[in-house]
RNA sequence: GGAGAGAUGUCCGAGUGGUCGAAGGAGACGGAUUCGAAAUCCGUUGUACUGUUUACGGUACCGAGGGUUCGAAUCCCUCUCUCUCCGCCA
């Protein structure tokens, strides 16, 4: 949520931002509701003040007719207050539910555009892998080497679920260890979080469990959802608290079990490990001082690059355009690794600076030296998306004889240096 | 799952339906004292919204939500959470 005290003075800026992001939010309606709410609140406050005054008069001994008259006045006030309070509550609910849909401000430097195609490539590492033979995609490789079993995933759980088997299991664990060790070196606290979170926490982070494009699984008869990412639980960690300034930055490195509905995305086009309902990630989550968040954002991107350079996978970095940002993000960088099976780059990490947008809704604050209270900035980033990285390694490291070499940096974690049938 | 106890400010902890935003203590901060420190003494010390906008006021918040009442931290109801004991389980 943005700072609602600013919506009048920054109205034009907000309206332009909504448009650039391709969203439909009626800012003027929200401003009207805000004014309506302010008037009602003022009236209710005045009435309550009168009620308190009236009640205070009755503290001591009084003549019974004086008391009777005061009681009558009090009763009248009570009725009036409860009417206005009901009205205020209605207006407030409408106001807040709409105000929450206003997206975060966006960084001035990002490209304006509607979708993926408008993202700006800002860097490339390596060159798309070339082969002296006809390369296979990871589905073929996975079947041939008995590493990934989609058919059984479909049978047991459903389409877009899969079993990882044999060396792929070790790859998964090795990637997690590699990522965690790298994060620890950079001062992150390793964390394993619950895979379920309350809806209020989801909403605070900016997911709408009940929204139309809900991308997460709700648990029937509870207010819990499977988390789409540890971003949710790591952000919820400090919900409703006031942090001391010295505690910042707080840097968490969490293993994240991710669940995605991916409704409507079934079909041949998205076969394989690229788009699945469940996968694991190692996630970075940082609470920082507002004046440092842009610097930290660059650091998160640098860590992601360090990881993929360590794996020696060709990739490019894109600065995400306004239409593709997601409501909480102020700026977002994605790393896209080369995936020979797709013949294109595919997203493997994403790091967002959400400034104070999530912190405000989660009610996370910190105290400045002068005693004032502000919202810290929250950032998140993927260190490793396990399934997509396994995909990229399989396809980029395959050899003509059908075996797959392993990135040397993983070998100590794996205990083997190649996979062959 | 069964039985019981509890939830108050940064922490501990009192609180008879009106004088309670809340005693007392601790901690922290400021000051006095000191060569300096300890001890001691004095003072300050919640959050949000809001009105005039240094000053100074108003409203709300004593786990959450309802209710009773002229008036609720205090009475009633529902829920959540914590603790103890038993059961179950990895």
- pLDDT for the residue numbered A214: 65
Task: Please indicate whether residue A305 or residue A369 has the higher confidence score (pLDDT).
Answer: A305
* 3-state DSSP assignment of residue A350: strand
Strand B close to A41 by CB, under 7 A: yes
A367, burial (CB in 10 Å: exposed 0-12, middle 13-18, buried 19+): middle
Give the span between the Cα atoms of A315 and A308, in whole angstroms.
Answer: 8
* DSSP structure string for A280-334: EEEEEEEEE-GGGHHHHHHHHHHHHHHHHHHTT--EEEEE--GGGS-TT-SEEEE
A67: nt with nearest C1' to CA: B70
> pLDDT value at position A393?
97
Other C-beta atoms closer than 10 Å to the C-beta of A347 total 17
Residue A330 has φ and ψ, to the nearest 5°, of -90, -35
Rounded to 5°, the CA angle A148-A149-A150 comes to 115
Q: Is the minimum distance from the CB of A249 to strand B below 7 Å? A: no
CA of A99 to C1' of B75 (A): 39
pLDDT the model gives residue A67: 80
Radius of gyration of chain A (CA): 27
* A216 vs A300, higher pLDDT: A300
Give the tens place of pLDDT for each residue, A266-282: 554 567 899 899 999 99
Q: Is A305 a catalytic residue?
A: no
Q: Say yes or no to pLDDT of A315 above 90.
A: yes
CB A148 within 8 A of CB A271: no
Q: Is the pLDDT of residue A204 over 90?
A: no
Tokens matching residue A299: 């650091």
Q: CB of A78 under 7 A from strand B?
A: yes
- CA-CA-CA-CA torsion for A98, A101, A106, A110, nearest 10 degrees? -140
- For strand B, the positions having any atom within 7 A of a protein Cβ are 18-19, 47-51, 58-60, 69-71
Distances (CA, A) of A48 to A57, A80, A89, A149: 14, 10, 15, 66
* Helix (H/G/I), strand (E/B), else coil: A194: coil
Q: What is the CA angle A117-A216-A376, rounded to 5?
A: 75
What is the per-residue pLDDT for A175? Answer: 96
What span, in angstroms and rounded, lies between the C-alpha atoms of A140 and A146? 10
Out of A275, A316, A331, A360, the active site residue is A275
Q: Give mean pLDDT, residues A161-190.
A: 95
- Taking residues A362-366, report their average pLDDT: 89
Return all residues near A184 (Cβ < 8 A) that are at least 6 apart: A190, A253
Higher pLDDT, A285 or A53: A285
Mean pLDDT of A99-123: 92
Q: Which two tokens stand for residue A339?
A: 């995936």
Spacing of C-alpha A48 from chain mean position: 41
| Range A336-349 average pLDDT | 94
C-alpha A326 chain-centroid distance: 9
Phi, psi of A245 (to 5 degrees): -55, -35
Residue A213 has pLDDT above 60, yes or no: no
| A75 Cβ within 7 A of any nucleic strand B atom | yes
Averaged pLDDT for residues A327-343: 94
Q: What is the ipTM of this complex?
A: 0.83
A5 touches strand B (CB under 7 A): yes
> What pLDDT is attached to residue A62?
73
Confidence of residue A72 (pLDDT cuts 50, 70, 90): confident
- Whether A161 and A154 have beta carbons less than 8 Å apart is answered as yes
CA A59 / C1′ B16 distance in Å:
15
Give yes or no for a contact between A249 and A269, defined as CB atoms under 8 angstroms apart. no
Catalytic residue among A262, A305, A306, A347: A347
Tokens of A204: 């605070």
What is the percentage of chain A residues whose pLDDT exceeds 70? 97
Does A361 participate in catalysis according to the annotation? no
Give the pair of three-digit tokens for residue A208. Answer: 């709408």
Instruction: Please check the confidence at residue A382 and state whether its pLDDT lies above 80.
Output: yes
Distance in angstroms: CA A369, C1' B41? 28
Contact A188, A253 (CB under 8 A): yes
Q: Mean pLDDT lowest for which of A2-16, A177-191, A234-248?
A: A234-248
Return the pLDDT at A248: 87
Q: Using 50, 70 and 90 to split pLDDT, how confident is the model at A373?
A: confident
Q: Select from A205, A292, A239 the least CA-distant residue to A1.
A: A205
Q: Please state, in angstroms and rounded to a whole number, the distance separating the CA atoms of residues A166 and A24.
A: 48
Joined together, the tokens standing for residue A67 give 């008391």
* Strongest mean pLDDT among A203-207, A239-243, A377-381: A377-381
CB-strand contact A373/B, under 7 Å? yes
| Mean pLDDT in residue range A109-136 | 93
Domains of chain A as residue ranges with CATH: 4-99 (1.10.287.40), 116-419 (3.30.930.10)
A121 phi and psi angles, rounded to 5 deg: -75, 125
- Of the listed ranges A148-152, A204-208, A258-262, A352-356, the least confidently predicted one is A204-208
pLDDT of residue A186: 96
Closest C-alpha to A230, from A269, A202, A210: A202
Question: Ramachandran region of residue A26, left (φ > 0), alpha (ψ -120 to 50) or beta?
Answer: beta
pLDDT at A384: 95
- Phi/psi at A102 (5° precision): -70, 125
Average pLDDT for A378-382: 95
Q: Is residue A2's pLDDT more than 70?
A: yes
């Amino acid at each position: 949520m943005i700072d609602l005290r600013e919506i009048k003075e920054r109205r034009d800026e907000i309206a332009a931002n909504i448009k650039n992001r391709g969203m439909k939010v009626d800012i003027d309606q929200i401003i009207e509701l805000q004014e309506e709410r302010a008037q009602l609140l003022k009236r209710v406050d005045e009435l309550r003040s009168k009620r308190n005054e009236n009640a205070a008069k009755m503290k001591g001994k009084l003549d019974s007719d004086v008391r009777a008259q005061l009681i009558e006045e009090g009763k009248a006030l009570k009725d009036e207050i409860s009417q206005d309070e009901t009205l205020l509550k209605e207006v407030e609910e409408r106001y807040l539910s709409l105000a929450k849909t206003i997206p975060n401000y966006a960084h001035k430097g990002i490209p304006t555009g509607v979708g993926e195609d408008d993202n700006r490539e800002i860097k490339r590492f390596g060159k798309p892998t070339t082969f002296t033979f006809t390369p296979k995609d990871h589905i073929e490789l996975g079947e041939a080497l008995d590493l990934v079993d989609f058919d059984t995933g479909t049978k047991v759980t459903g389409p877009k679920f899969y079993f990882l088997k044999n060396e792929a299991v070790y790859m998964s664990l090795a990637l997690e260890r590699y990522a965690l060790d790298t994060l620890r070196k950079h001062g992150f606290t390793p964390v394993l979080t619950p895979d379920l979170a309350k809806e209020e926490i989801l909403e605070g982070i900016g997911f709408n469990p009940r929204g139309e494009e809900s991308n997460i699984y709700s648990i029937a008869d509870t207010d819990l959802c499977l988390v789409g990412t540890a971003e949710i639980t790591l952000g919820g960690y400090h919900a409703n608290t006031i942090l001391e300034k010295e505690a910042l930055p707080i840097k968490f490195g969490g293993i994240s079990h991710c669940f995605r509905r991916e409704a409507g995305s079934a079909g041949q086009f998205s076969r394989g490990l690229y788009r699945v309902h469940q996968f694991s990630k190692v996630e970075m989550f940082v609470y920082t001082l507002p004046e440092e968040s842009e610097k930290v954002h660059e650091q998160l991107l640098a860590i992601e690059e360090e990881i993929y350079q360590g794996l020696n996978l060709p990739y490019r970095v894109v600065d995400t355009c306004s239409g593709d940002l997601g409501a909480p993000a102020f700026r977002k960088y994605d790393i896209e690794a080369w995936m020979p099976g797709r013949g294109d780059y595919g997203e493997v990490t994403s790091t967002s600076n959400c400034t104070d947008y999530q912190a405000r809704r989660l009610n996370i604050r910190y105290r400045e030296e002068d005693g004032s209270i502000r919202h810290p900035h929250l950032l998140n980033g993927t260190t490793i998306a396990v399934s997509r990285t396994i995909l990229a390694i399989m396809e980029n490291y395959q050899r003509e004889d059908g075996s797959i070499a392993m990135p040397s940096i993983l070998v100590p974690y794996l205990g083997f240096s190649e996979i062959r049938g």
